[in-house]
Amino acid sequence: MTTLLEILHQVKKGHCSIDEALQKLQLQPPETIEEACLDHQRSLRTGMPEVVYGASKSVDQIVAISTSLLKNGDVLLVTRVDEEKAKEILAKLPELEYHQKASILCGNPRALDTDKCRGKVLVICAGTSDIPVAEEARVTLASLGQPVEPLYDVGVAGLHRILNNQPLLTQASVIIVVAGMEGALPSVVGGLVSAPVIGVPTSIGYGANLGGFTALLGMLNSCAPGLAVVNIDNGFGAACMALAINRA
């Protein structure tokens, strides 16, 4: 199998046109490790590196897959890693950094490069309980080289908290709004700005919150224009969407 390196060498030497190389890379067979079928070329196709979903993987699986992905030289992100699991992984891969509130392990973070960005991403959350999901979005974006700023605990029950921050809102190029319970904050934000708004419902709440479905449904039915929604608690997915939008 021709490796990424070989293809790039061929391109440099003129043995392969850029178009041919792109074609090859996009069709290149994936690498198989520990029953995982790694897709090293995803970054080329979608601009997002392959990210490891840590919740359903063992420490050994994460270490093996991370080691393979780190060889690529691109940023490594492992999401949904609790503190205990993180410690064990860090013992074997000390070059990684653990973001505790975000439950993310990161290696080779991309440097901030504002030239390649349209502007700053704003990550808002409604209550303090929503912060872990907001941090998953914020850390993902920061690790991918995006300028990003948090604005937390500004829910609709005290409207002046969000109204006092209107300059922040109008300057952002993309806004991620994280909210549980009734999920009303994205509607309010969406009515105040012209930037695209990404709603992230969280499972925070109890009783009739239906594990986050109430917030999800509320955001989907929002009357505010320019609002789209990702899965419950999916801060990572919101970051991906924001990244896709924020590319210059």
Which residues between 98 and 127 bind a second copy (CB under 8 A)? 126-127
Cα Rg for the chain, rounded, in angstroms?
Answer: 20
Nearer to a second copy, 95 or 163 (CB): 163
231 touches a second copy by CB under 8 A: yes
158 touches a second copy by CB under 8 A: yes
167 touches a second copy by CB under 8 A: no
User: Out of 66, 68, 143, 234, which residue is the one contacting a second copy (CB under 8 A)?
Assistant: 234
30 touches a second copy by CB under 8 A: yes
Residue ranges in 64-103 that form contacts with a second copy under rule CB under 8 A: none
192 touches a second copy by CB under 8 A: yes
User: Is 181 buried (19+), middle (13-18) or exposed (0-12) by CB count in 10 A?
Assistant: buried
Whether 174 contacts 245, CB under 8 Å: yes
Length in residues, the chain: 248
Nearer to a second copy, 95 or 244 (CB): 244
241 touches a second copy by CB under 8 A: yes
Contacts of 169 (CB under 8 A, 6+ apart): 122, 162, 175, 189, 192, 193, 195
Whether 149 contacts 121, CB under 8 Å: yes
